[in-house]
Amino acid sequence: MLRYTLKRLFQGLITVWFIATATFFAMHNVPGDPLANDKAATEEIRANLEAKYGLDKPLVQQYLIYMGNILRGDFGISFTQKNRRVNDIIAEHFPISAILGILAVVFAGLGGVLWGALTALYRNRLPDIIIMFLVILGISVPSFVVAAISQLALVNLNDAVNFSLLPVAGWGTVWHMLVPSLVLGLGTMAYLTRLMRSSMLEIVNSDYIRTAKAKGLPPTRIFANHQMRNAILPVVTVLGPSIAAITTGGFVVELVFAIPGLGRYFVQAVQQLDYTVIMGTTVFYGAFLVFMVIVVDLLYGWIDPRVRLE
């Protein structure tokens, strides 16, 4: 087990190094100039800027310097926020994205399992039809639409009760988290519901359930220990990447609800060709994703004894 974990961590490190290298060279080959701005810079101003950010050196040398800095845990200084270190940007804004993301994943996971089990149980009856219709909506409507509509609904709700029941936007208290995290988790919840439903249905007809029933086991044990526990496995598999996707993909929700998360900086950095922030956030998110996949694989072995970790 320990050996397996170490091996996976080492592989993960290689992956992150590869991500960093690929991003570095791809980024430098994107057309466009990170130092360009609305107003054209004179040659001397440009030269000053290039020297400040080390862009006057050959690319390979820039790469080596950058890698050395990463090893020392230094992501450099942002191009657009000229006096701010990328480390500070990540340290200040990632926790907010993470809180939002954790809550969204919890909503998505619990909701997905619950609705999925429910629809499987009431297959082709009214609850199933209603929930599956909502699931299709949840999967196909993009989050910026859901975010905008739910925000408008909040305004109307507050207007109707003539009191600020739930905040429309902003960050700071539990009430600020509720709606954005629901919106953020909605797509994943819908996806997990479908997954849970189909895996439940598959299991209902399997041999060991029939055996359990034939043995005369009480329905409680059949449903909880045999059906749910086995059906949940595929859900756990996709949960890892989902966690990473949700924590990193909150850009739209963060924008609409004015939440100071890292997603905003990530997207803006790419639009602005802010080299250091692109690199910092990509490496950070890459490492995060790799780590989550490893954690899920380890969890998998714990949930399903049939899976051997070697």
* Interface with another protein in residues 276-305 (CB under 8 A): none
Q: Degrees (nearest 5) of the Cα angle 293, 97, 243?
A: 25
Shorter beta-carbon distance to another protein: residue 68 or 170: 170
- The residues facing 77 across adjacent strands are 85
Kindly identify the residues of this chain, within the stretch 238-267, that bind another protein according to CB under 8 A: 255-258, 260-261, 264-265
State the DSSP H helix or E strand holding residue 272, giving kind and residue range, or none if neither.
helix 262-272
Beta carbon of residue 292, minimum distance to another protein (angstroms, whole number): 18
Shorter beta-carbon distance to another protein: residue 159 or 310: 159
CA–CA separation, 118 vs 128, rounded Å? Answer: 7
Beta carbon of residue 257, minimum distance to another protein (angstroms, whole number): 7
How many CB atoms are located within 10 Å of the residue 112 CB?
27
Shorter beta-carbon distance to another protein: residue 14 or 224: 224
Those residues whose C-beta lies under 8 Å from the C-beta of residue 200, and which sit 6 or more positions away, are 116, 117, 120, 121, 227, 228, 231
Does residue 215 touch another protein according to CB under 8 A?
A: no
Residue of the chain from 102, 238, 267, 299 that contacts another protein (CB under 8 A):
102
Angle between helices 86-121 and 229-248 (to 10 degrees): 150
| Binding string, residues 159-188; x marks residues near another protein by CB under 8 A | x----x--xxxxxxxx-xxx----------
- 108 in Cβ contact with 242 (< 8 Å): yes
Stretch that binds another protein, among 11-19, 21-29, 103-111, 191-199 (CB under 8 A): 103-111
CA–CA separation, 128 vs 18, rounded Å? Answer: 45
CA–CA separation, 97 vs 113, rounded Å? Answer: 24
Extract the runs of DSSP E, i.e. beta strands, from 63-162: none
Shorter beta-carbon distance to another protein: residue 109 or 138: 109
Does residue 118 touch another protein according to CB under 8 A?
A: yes
Q: Total number of residues binding another protein (CB under 8 A)?
A: 80
Shorter beta-carbon distance to another protein: residue 220 or 305: 220
Residue of the chain from 13, 21, 54, 82 that contacts another protein (CB under 8 A):
82
Shorter beta-carbon distance to another protein: residue 62 or 158: 158
Stretch that binds another protein, among 115-123, 185-193, 237-245, 281-289 (CB under 8 A): 115-123
Residue of the chain from 124, 271, 305, 306 that contacts another protein (CB under 8 A):
271
Per DSSP, the three-state class of 96 is helix
- 254 in Cβ contact with 264 (< 8 Å): yes
CA–CA separation, 149 vs 126, rounded Å? Answer: 26
Beta carbon of residue 75, minimum distance to another protein (angstroms, whole number): 15
- For residue 118, which of 182, 197, 194 has the smallest C-alpha distance? 197
Those residues whose C-beta lies under 8 Å from the C-beta of residue 202, and which sit 6 or more positions away, are 231
| Binding string, residues 16-55; x marks residues near another protein by CB under 8 A | --------------xxxxx-xxxxxxx-xx-xxx-xx---
Beta carbon of residue 1, minimum distance to another protein (angstroms, whole number): 28
Shorter beta-carbon distance to another protein: residue 66 or 265: 265
